[in-house]
Amino acid sequence: MGLVTPFGIGIQRYWDSVIAGKSAISRIRHFDPSGLPCQVAGYLPDGELYGPDGNLDAEPRFTYFALVAARMASKDVRWLDHVSLERAGVFMGTSGERISLGDFARVAYETRGENGEVSSKEFARRWRETIKADTISRFLPQYAAARVVREFGILGPVTTFNTACTSSAHAIGEAMRAVRRGDVDLAVAGGTECIVSHVGLHIFCPLGVLSKRNEPPEKASRPFDLERDGFVLSEGAGMLILEDLESAKERGVPIMAELAGYGTSCDAYRITDEAPDGRGAVLAMRRALEDAAVVPDDIDYVNAHGTSTPMNDRVETVAIKTVFGKRAYQIPVSSVKSMLGHSISAAGAIELITCVLALRDQILPPTINCEFPDPDCDLDYVPNHARPARLRVALSNSFGFGGHNDCLVVTRFEG
């Protein structure tokens, strides 16, 4: 596994921070957010970039994240010398990266006519001179997966998933299916996101889904809390190496966990809202449990989508109750978005890795900022502090704009 989060680069650094209940949310400082209702985010400090991987500094930020995480995930499994490159694949969840509005604005300003209107012909000419074709192509969503392919020389199937907040969970689930079907022997799977920008904020602020709690920043993301008012944008990447059990055993590589089940659905109730009864989430969770050949009583922990919006947290709570019945009140449910914010395309991968670490260390990550109980959110959200627990099976939920729902079941490997 490999991680890049606002806490920095690396698995243990992330995990130590999460278990300590720290927040990675801070005031936006890499551009001026003045005038925006949301002025906080989860952002990887620039000092963290281009260290040992300085040869990647020419890559777009979202691709840099993906490559660093993929290199980290590959480091300990020695697969390059033992797996046919024709039998390896890449499954990437991402929305790509949006070229700075500054480039567009500058060229538009410089190509105005006497009447103040932009000349399309002159704009096109100056744009071609200013922005190289390969620069534009490197910001397309599929570039990150292609760059990982080039990094390792992979020759098998390569797919990019752009299904909003479920993108990386979707990618991991489909990668698991590809391994099961025998399409590939090994999959590099996960997601990457770089959305904390002028463009990203201007996309989400008008939707009214971002928190306006700018002071103090670390209190802005508060899933399941009565005073939650929206999510906080974040960035990062999570990548995993998926492989058939017998192949991994034969090569003697460390096995972190078993990815046991995947369930997907799309209810498309509204672009930004789930159906109030959580029907799509319910279907995806039930399909994941069925695929993993487990029953609701087997689940020891649910890593919630838990975005901190009033609608999502209420509906997810309803959906969990529908799937688990009375036992829902006995299952710990937590959201690391309370500490990280919402990394959109990368969230599912980061949260699946969180589940694997919880199973490894037998500890539940907390939901911080749970200060004011919400009568509509009345489950055990592991409030404010991590706690030890006996964990064998975990469910990771991802729900996204457009009605996408993707859930993954992961079990502790006992072999």
**CA nearest to 346, candidates 33, 76, 2:** 2
Q: Is 305 in contact with 398 (CB distance < 8 Å)?
A: yes
Residues 48 and 339: their CA atoms lie apart, in Å, by: 18
Given 38, 305, 377, 404, the catalytic residue: 305
Radius of gyration over every alpha carbon of the chain, rounded to an integer in angstroms: 21
Q: What is the DSSP letter of 233?
A: B
On the 0-12 / 13-18 / 19+ scale of CB atoms within 10 A, 239 is: buried
From first CA to last CA, the distance across the chain in angstroms is 19
Label residue 152 left, alpha or beta by phi (over 0 means left) and psi (-120 to 50 means alpha). Answer: alpha
Q: Which amino acid is at 243?
A: E
Residues 360 and 356: their CA atoms lie apart, in Å, by: 6
Helix axes 279-291, 310-324, angle to 10 degrees: 50
Given 38, 170, 342, 407, the catalytic residue: 342
Residues 6+ apart with CB under 8 A from 291: 260, 261, 262, 263, 409
**CA nearest to 66, candidates 157, 194, 245:** 194
**CA nearest to 164, candidates 342, 367, 40, 355:** 342
Given 38, 165, 205, 370, the catalytic residue: 165
Residue 165: active-site member? yes
**Number of helices and strands in the chain (H, E):** 13, 15
Active site residues: 165, 305, 342
